[in-house]
Structure 1
Amino acid sequence: MASSMLKVEIYDPDVEIWESYEERLILFFQANEVEDDKKKVAILLSSMGAKGYGLLKNLVSPDKPSSKKFDEICGTLREYYNPKPPVLLERFRFYNYNQSSSTTIAEFLAELKRMTSTCNFGSFLKDALRDRFVCGIYDNNIQKKALVGRRFTNAG
């Protein structure tokens, strides 16, 4: 089996986000029936290039990258390449986002929903989304209707 295996590309953060590379690695392992975690680690480490390996070595120091499980390595690299933005910053962006005159209500709502994914609203999510939706509507007439209690069917 090993002789027929294709080579894994070196990860290049200028070309691809880590999550996409990780997905392709998992598909590579499925296609080549690689199930053993140590083998997954060996394939990843031997194909990541000197720059990537050096970075990973620094990130897991004083441990060696080869002592980590595949999921741990991927989690470490995921955090490095795509750190979670500060919740306060994401909420600031959310609360300051308003519908523009060229944006439809559906587009505005979709963008607000997308923005909530990094706001960590928890059980307050529906209220925050409703409040920002109503406060950020561009058309004053629609906004007034929403504020006086007329049911707005697209808001949820």
Structure 2
Amino acid sequence: MAMLNQIEAFQPENGASWELYVERLNFYFEANDITSADKKRAILMSVCGPSAFVMIRSLLTPRSLNEVAFEEIVSKVKEHFNSAPSKIVFRIQFHKRSQRLNESITEYVAALRNLSENSNFGNTLDDMLLDLFMIHNRCQIAGSTSNGTNLHKGLSAI
């Protein structure tokens, strides 16, 4: 049976999310009818990339990777990355992110929403997005909206 798609390497040095990578990997397993834990481990270790392979191997030393179950590998790497920075660090990244040249509003909003995942903005996220639009002056929402405008109305005013 031919395998569907390919999974790219996990690149923690580029800020990749382990949880999202595993989620995609599980969809790959589902699409390709892969249920064996040994086969899942073999695929993960084959596609994870050189830097991730070394990191995973280091986390599990002195045991051989062949001795460790797929779920344990996933759990150990998740533990390793759970020492993630506080929500303050994520909020700083969110506030520093400006709209890039040739980046559409939709792409910019998606990038900001992605950055906000660990920021715990809750119900204030739309207000934060409007604030960033006004601060970075890539959008002219400030002059075209009134007090109390929500994100949807603000974006439609562009």
> Larger Rg: 1 or 2?
1
Bigger relative CO (Cα 8 Å, ≥ 6 apart): 1
